[in-house]
Amino acid sequence: MKNHCYLFPQDFVWGVATAAAQIEGAAFEDGKGESIWDRFAAVPGKVINNASPTIACDHYHRYPEDIALMRELGLRNYRFSISWPRIYPHGREGVNQKGLDFYDRLVDTLLENQITPWATLFHWDLPQALEDEGGWRVRSTAEAFAHYAATIVKRLGSRVKNWMTLNELPSFIGLGYGIGTNAPGTMESPRVVNQAYHHALLAHGYGVQAVREHGGYDARVGIAHNPETPLPVMEIPADIKAAQIAYASNTAQIMGPLYLGHYPASFLEAAGTDMPSVTNEDLALIAQPTDFLGLNLYTGSFVRAGAEEQPETLVMPDDYPRGALPWLKITPQATYWAVRHAVEVYGVKELYITENGICFDDQVNEQGEIHDLARCEYVRNYLISLHRAIQEGYPARGYFLWSFLDNYEWAEGYTKRFGIVHVDYPTQKRTPKLSAHWYARATKENRIV
């Protein structure tokens, strides 16, 4: 097959992704404890239409149906997350056996259907009991995560071999504690926010330890990060250099400790007196080698060389193409440049696109079909950009489309649909969209179709 057919490597991993709090429902069933999103959603005005994740997609009860649909579509890799408060309702003491049993059943059903599980240990749903003790502001939360992570890996490690520790620190720390648009919805001082980031990084380190100690010799572990992705306005040396300077700066707080073993000068200068409290032992824990970096990529921003060759970010006009959320500007170059930046700035050896997708106001037509052509084109063009990175030798090994199901979209409630499978929430009927059939064909043929 010729290169213009965009054939991917034979061992390329194709998958779909979800998160527990967004699809499981059963928020107060079988011993599950309250999460910060359960509490946040109960505050009037925090979520559009005051929608809650109490039922969501009812995946807790309907997972056999959902996994059967994955198999029917030919999807062979599934990234899901585990609900911490379903395992430890109070955060750290009193394991909930019914919660562990659910994930046993989920993983076994995946394997019975020849679908490889990729488990994320934390995707934003902190037990409210730990938030009441200080949440990510305090070191004890990272220590509680160590206990939780060890419990999960011991239980599932014989069957799950691909692990992610945490999902999107900027979303659950920056937006949760700094801006307040995500749970727990507070607006802390820069020093407190920086300390919370550091504690989350510690939790990542503990998660890596848990996988190394309890996951078996063949277990693999990484973190899922959503970096800001600067795109050079023109592919000329000056603009490329400016984009990489911007990338190094805006990812320093997370990628620096992970891949360099310290906080880079750019972060130290920006933080000033708001630096977190850090020990050398902390940095050694955080910087333990991982097997891959997960990148959650949706959009990027355009950068050029400005005065004295320093990065200048261009403002995108109001009519720039985007999805149904204002921040989701359509920039297919992101899957190329985010991979290239991670490799060239931080020396990352292996990467997976652990999320990529878009929301539109999908409509069911008179024939009962959802012709989400715009999503098909979005995914097609982002994959073309990723294919370019692979062709140039960058180590992108797989792609997980976000999301398998329409779901509870955090503070947007049920108003935004990211899924390739439509969910009619009143009836819980699942209907694969055109994008599901398009993506299924692409994964089967291992190329862009």
For position 5, what pLDDT does the model report? 82
Q: Is the peptide bond before 89 cis (omega within 30 degrees of 0)?
A: no
400's enclosing H/E stretch is: strand 396-402
Structure tokens given for 316? 């995108």
Helix axes 237-250, 334-346, angle to 10 degrees: 70
Residues that are catalytic: 168, 355
User: pLDDT-based confidence at 266, cuts 50/70/90?
Assistant: very high
Average pLDDT, integer, range 263-281: 96
4 pLDDT exceeds 80? no
Rounded CA separation 128/182 (Å)? 14
Phi and psi (nearest 5°) for 298?
A: -130, -40
Rounded CA separation 63/431 (Å)? 15
Rounded CA separation 28/381 (Å)? 41
Query: What one-character DSSP code corresponds to residue 35?
Result: B
Give me the residues paired with residue 313 across strands: 303
User: pLDDT-based confidence at 311, cuts 50/70/90?
Assistant: very high
Classified as helix, coil or strand, 33 is coil
Classified as helix, coil or strand, 7 is strand
Average pLDDT, integer, range 409-421: 98
Q: Where are the domains of the chain?
A: 3-445
Average pLDDT, integer, range 197-226: 98
373 pLDDT exceeds 60? yes
128 pLDDT exceeds 90? yes
Closest CA to 70 of 14, 27, 31: 14
305's enclosing H/E stretch is: strand 301-305
Q: Is the peptide bond before 81 cis (omega within 30 degrees of 0)?
A: no
1 pLDDT exceeds 50? no
Q: What is the dihedral of CA 218, 223, 226, 227, to 10 degrees?
A: -100
CATH 3.20.20.80 corresponds to the domain 3-445: yes
Phi and psi (nearest 5°) for 408?
A: -75, 105
Classified as helix, coil or strand, 132 is helix
Closest CA to 157 of 201, 212, 83: 212
Q: Are 169 and 124 in contact (CB under 8 A)?
A: no
